[in-house]
């Protein structure tokens, strides 16, 4: 495995791009291969078994394309599949997502924190463990924001329906006097401007992506796997969905006009 090999990043869709942009900003000379599983998004309502199968198939695909580390840039896949992936690929380094309850609990003044994530994330033992270890008497208000992932997949960051989903989640939390909102889904950083317009400037919004990028850097440095090239790294975008719609959303979310490669699932675990 060469240090010039790419960092593999995957998500159920475009959410993981909120992690990719932080990795890119922190380590611009690293090559990246990004997999968005638009053929199966959203993962949130799916079974653990299905998410584990999808995550295993995507990991095999990324390793097959030389990934030197795998970033599970998806809270839902991290909750449902990270333990399974580490057991299945014991010689591979994984970085996963974890709802940022710890920093929220440390920073809140009112002791009231809102958490936005998918059903599968909230149901996973990872979230229960994070709450048990770090909530420390802070009152958490959870909401799954039904339909928000699909809105962001369509690039509708300011549509009335997107605003309505967020108001339904956040207004009751504001009445409970929250002063912090944890983004427990990697799609949600793309609607931070809208969230901030709803909650106002007194409420802190926590996006874990920068911390995840720093963890990737730490692991690459510790393993002597940092790309030593000076020039800007390349990014490959792979989707199991529609190339044209992913190209459109890449332009909306990242302001880039990128080539997108399409792949096809043969079954729940194999990608052609």
Instruction: Give the binding site for ligand DGL (CB under 6 A).
Output: 11-13, 15, 41-44, 74-76, 118, 121, 149, 185-187
Indicate the residue among 174 and 183 with the shorter CB distance to ligand DGL.
Answer: 183
Query: What is the smallest separation between the CB atom of 229 and ligand DGL, expressed in angstroms?
Result: 30
Query: What is the smallest separation between the CB atom of 118 and ligand DGL, expressed in angstroms?
Result: 4
Do 34 and 20 touch, CB atoms closer than 8 A? yes
Distance, CA of 212 to CA of 20 (rounded, Å): 10
**Encoding tokens for residue 218?**
């730490």
- 185 carries an active-site annotation: yes
| Rg for the chain, CA atoms, rounded | 18
Question: To 10 degrees, the CA torsion angle through 207, 43, 78, 17?
Answer: -40
136: number of Cβ within 10 Å: 12
Question: What are 9's strand-pairing partners?
Answer: 34, 71
Query: What is the smallest separation between the CB atom of 148 and ligand DGL, expressed in angstroms?
Result: 9
- 74 carries an active-site annotation: yes
Indicate the residue among 174 and 208 with the shorter CB distance to ligand DGL.
Answer: 208
Going by C-alpha positions, the residue among 116, 113, 51 that lies closest to residue 82 is 51
Indicate the residue among 15 and 241 with the shorter CB distance to ligand DGL.
Answer: 15
Query: What is the smallest separation between the CB atom of 246 and ligand DGL, expressed in angstroms?
Result: 14
Query: What is the smallest separation between the CB atom of 207 and ligand DGL, expressed in angstroms?
Result: 11
Distance of CA 79 to the CA centre of its chain: 11
Active-site residue among 185, 191, 195, 203?
Answer: 185
Instruction: Count H helices and E strands in the chain, helices first.
Output: 11, 10
Give yes or no for a cis peptide into 256 (omega within 30° of 0): no
Indicate the residue among 6 and 13 with the shorter CB distance to ligand DGL.
Answer: 13
Going by C-alpha positions, the residue among 80, 73, 101 that lies closest to residue 15 is 73
In this structure, is the dihedral angle defined by the CA atoms of residues 242, 247, 248 and 252, taken in order, positive or negative? Answer: positive
Question: To 10 degrees, the CA torsion angle through 181, 185, 189, 190?
Answer: -130
Query: What is the smallest separation between the CB atom of 153 and ligand DGL, expressed in angstroms?
Result: 8
**Residue matched to tokens 């996973």:** 124
Active-site residue among 23, 74, 145, 220?
Answer: 74
* Residues labelled catalytic: 74, 185
């Amino acid at each position: 495995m060469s240090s010039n090999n790419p960092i593999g990043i995957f998500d159920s869709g475009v959410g993981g791009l909120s992690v990719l942009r932080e990795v890119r900003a922190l380590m611009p000379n690293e090559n990246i291969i990004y997999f968005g599983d638009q053929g199966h998004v959203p993962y949130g309502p799916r079974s653990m078994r299905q998410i584990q199968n999808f995550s295993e198939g995507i990991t095999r695909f990324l390793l097959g394309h030389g990934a030197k580390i795998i970033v599970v840039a998806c809270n839902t896949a991290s909750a449902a599949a990270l333990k399974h992936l580490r057991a299945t690929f014991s010689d591979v380094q994984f970085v996963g997502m974890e709802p940022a309850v710890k920093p929220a609990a440390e920073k809140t003044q009112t002791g009231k924190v809102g958490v936005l994530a998918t059903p599968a994330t909230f149901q996973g033992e990872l979230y229960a463990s994070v709450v048990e270890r770090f909530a420390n008497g802070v009152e958490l208000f959870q909401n799954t924001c039904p339909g928000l992932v699909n809105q962001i997949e369509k690039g509708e960051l300011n549509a009335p329906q997107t605003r309505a989903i967020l108001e339904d989640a956040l207004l009751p939390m504001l009445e409970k006097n929250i002063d912090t909102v944890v983004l427990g889904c990697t799609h949600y950083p793309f609607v931070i401007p809208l969230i901030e317009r709803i909650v106002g400037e007194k409420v802190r919004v926590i996006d874990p992506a920068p911390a995840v990028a720093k963890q990737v850097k730490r692991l690459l440095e510790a393993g002597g796997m940092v790309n030593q090239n000076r020039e800007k790294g390349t990014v490959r975008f792979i989707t199991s969905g529609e190339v044209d719609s992913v190209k459109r959303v890449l332009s909306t979310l990242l302001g880039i006009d990128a080539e997108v490669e399409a792949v096809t699932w043969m079954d729940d675990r194999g990608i052609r």
